[in-house]
Amino acid sequence: MHRTKVRVVEDALDANNTIAHANRDDFDRFGVRVINLMSAPGAGKTSLLEQVLPLDGVRVGVLEGDVQGSYDADRLAFRHVPVTQLNTDSGFGGECHLDANMVRSALPELPLADIDLLVIENVGNLVCPAEFRVGEDVRAMVCSITEGEDKPLKYPLMFRSCELVVINKLDLLPHLDVDLDRLIYNLDAVNPAAKRLLVSARTGEGLDELRDWLVQQAGVPVAAQA
Amino acid sequence: MHRTKVRVVEDALDANNTIAHANRDDFDRFGVRVINLMSAPGAGKTSLLEQVLPLDGVRVGVLEGDVQGSYDADRLAFRHVPVTQLNTDSGFGGECHLDANMVRSALPELPLADIDLLVIENVGNLVCPAEFRVGEDVRAMVCSITEGEDKPLKYPLMFRSCELVVINKLDLLPHLDVDLDRLIYNLDAVNPAAKRLLVSARTGEGLDELRDWLVQQAGVPVAAQA
């Protein structure tokens, strides 16, 4: 019984990878680089995007993944960035992650010819989003310092799958019983190669480095940025 | 294609409910009341249990659900409470929720004859745990104030499915741009009947009320508690 279930899941992941490759081909055709941005609920993905967008010299679009509603998309629309909403609640109670086919269904709505960089804001969840590629070039996650220092150990697949780990809400550190060194030690244990940025969307600390990283991912020639 | 997928999911939920009823019958046979405790990662489920357990006059056991590891179970073992670990990472990358069959597989390990109340600490996730009954009598969730006031609107199924919503980390409110009244307004919009407790695991604020609620769920006659 359990064996059967696992096999079904593996088939589903195979199909997902096939569609993710097709998405990637389409993104490549338009010269669009894609970031899959993940986190637990309320870690600050949208707040960080609100702070750093728009980027100088890089045309950014956002694909917002949510179970339902368009609260984050509405917030980002104020930043004069093209935002497309993708809801996962068709079917039963709502999917807890984006998969490649959901992103594929949104491709016709995306202004691919007019952007250099697409940020896909995934559903807030530290488990399943890490299991489904959607056609991204790079994966980034936001980890709020308020979640505690043990999260890399409890959700290792997520932390391991990301090229960048943004540790957010650093301004709250003096008010928490959280050991930042221990958090970074735990991150090193599961993903020593990950780039990490210590930031606060509230105070602006570290946001220049986050902007630089985003610009770098876009791969736009420096001349075009001037 | 999508239609087929939804049907499979509905069948899976049917099977889940059948097993959840069987779990419930077993819990009832031992006179054990069961709480399904849910939250986003790092909202403070374990910290709250560390603070309020053990309970006077009520014998509590904990079933810890995690993708992998036994970090929370190890923490609770210090409270001299019987703790059973249930990991969801057999198979592929790990399940993002507990289902009735996983809980059923843990029944032989639970000291049902020696406890009055079982707290099942679910995997940290605001989506799928709400979709799978595991045989509980009552559902409770922890929402950290740091997650922002919009969470009831973004994860309505979770907030709607709980009899109790514990709003935690209240001590951080002065350091956040979060509107507590708006959070409660949003909770009222999706689940006006839910009991809500404002607490801080760090300062102890509101924990007496949480203890009282837990004791009440256990349904132990007052004489036995003396």
Spell out the alpha helix ranges (H) of B37-126. 45-52, 71-77, 100-106
Residues 6 or more apart whose CB falls under 8 angstroms from that of A113 comprise A30
Confirm if A213 and A28 have CB atoms less than 8 A apart: no
Top-ranked range on mean pLDDT: pick from A8-17, B5-14, B194-203? B194-203
For residue A89, name the pLDDT band (cuts at 50, 70, 90). Answer: confident
Of B127, B147, B153, the CB nearest to A96: B127
Report d(CA B215, CA B59) in Å as an integer: 10
Interface contact flag, A67 B157, Cβ < 8 Å: yes
For residue B8, name the pLDDT band (cuts at 50, 70, 90). Answer: low
Q: What is the mean pLDDT of residues B153-169?
A: 97
> In the predicted model, is pLDDT for residue A1 greater than 80?
no
Report d(CA A74, CA A53) in Å as an integer: 14
The three-state secondary structure class of A217 is: helix
Interface contact flag, A92 B144, Cβ < 8 Å: no
> In the predicted model, is pLDDT for residue B2 greater than 60?
no
> In the predicted model, is pLDDT for residue A187 greater than 70?
yes
Q: Within 10 A of A200 (CB to CB), how many other CB atoms are there?
A: 21
Q: Which two tokens stand for residue A85?
A: 């909403």
Interface contact flag, B131 A175, Cβ < 8 Å: no
Please report residues of B whose CB lies closer than 8 A to that of A177.
202
Q: Within 10 A of A1 (CB to CB), how many other CB atoms are there?
A: 6
Of B94, B154, B175, the CB nearest to A71: B154
Task: State residue A222's pLDDT score.
Answer: 58
Least Cα distance to A100 among A131, A67, A146 occurs for A131
Confirm if A131 and A13 have CB atoms less than 8 A apart: yes
Q: What is the mean pLDDT of residues A17-40?
A: 98
Confirm if B106 and B140 have CB atoms less than 8 A apart: no
Sheet (strand B117-121) strand order: B83-87, B60-66, B117-121, B33-39, B138-144, B164-168, B195-198
Interface contact flag, B41 A147, Cβ < 8 Å: yes
Please report residues of B whose CB lies closer than 8 A to that of A175.
171-172, 175
- pTM comes to 0.92
Task: State residue B50's pLDDT score.
Answer: 96
Sheet (strand A33-39) strand order: A83-87, A60-66, A117-121, A33-39, A138-144, A164-168, A195-198
Please report residues of A whose CB lies closer than 8 A to that of B42.
40, 144, 146-148, 151
Confirm if B40 and B147 have CB atoms less than 8 A apart: yes
Task: State residue A2's pLDDT score.
Answer: 40
Least Cα distance to B46 among B71, B22, B13, B17 occurs for B71
Label residues B18-46 b or e (16+ Cβ within 10 Å = b): ebbeebbeebeeeebbbbbbbbbbbbbbb
Scanning the structure block, which residue is given the tokens 């949208």?
A46
Confirm if B60 and B116 have CB atoms less than 8 A apart: yes
From residue B134, give the alpha-carbon distance in Å to each of A105, A206, B58, B73, B120.
Answer: 34, 43, 22, 19, 9
Cβ pairs A/B, distance under 8 A: 125
From residue A79, give the alpha-carbon distance in Å to each of A48, A219, A225.
Answer: 12, 22, 19
Report d(CA A40, CA A124) in Å as an integer: 5
User: What pLDDT, in 10s, does the model give residues B110-150?
Assistant: 999 999 999 999 999 999 999 999 999 999 999 999 999 99
Residue predicted with more confidence, B78 or B38: B38
Least Cα distance to B196 among A191, B206, B204 occurs for B206
User: What pLDDT, in 10s, does the model give residues A115-140?
Assistant: 999 999 999 999 999 999 999 999 99
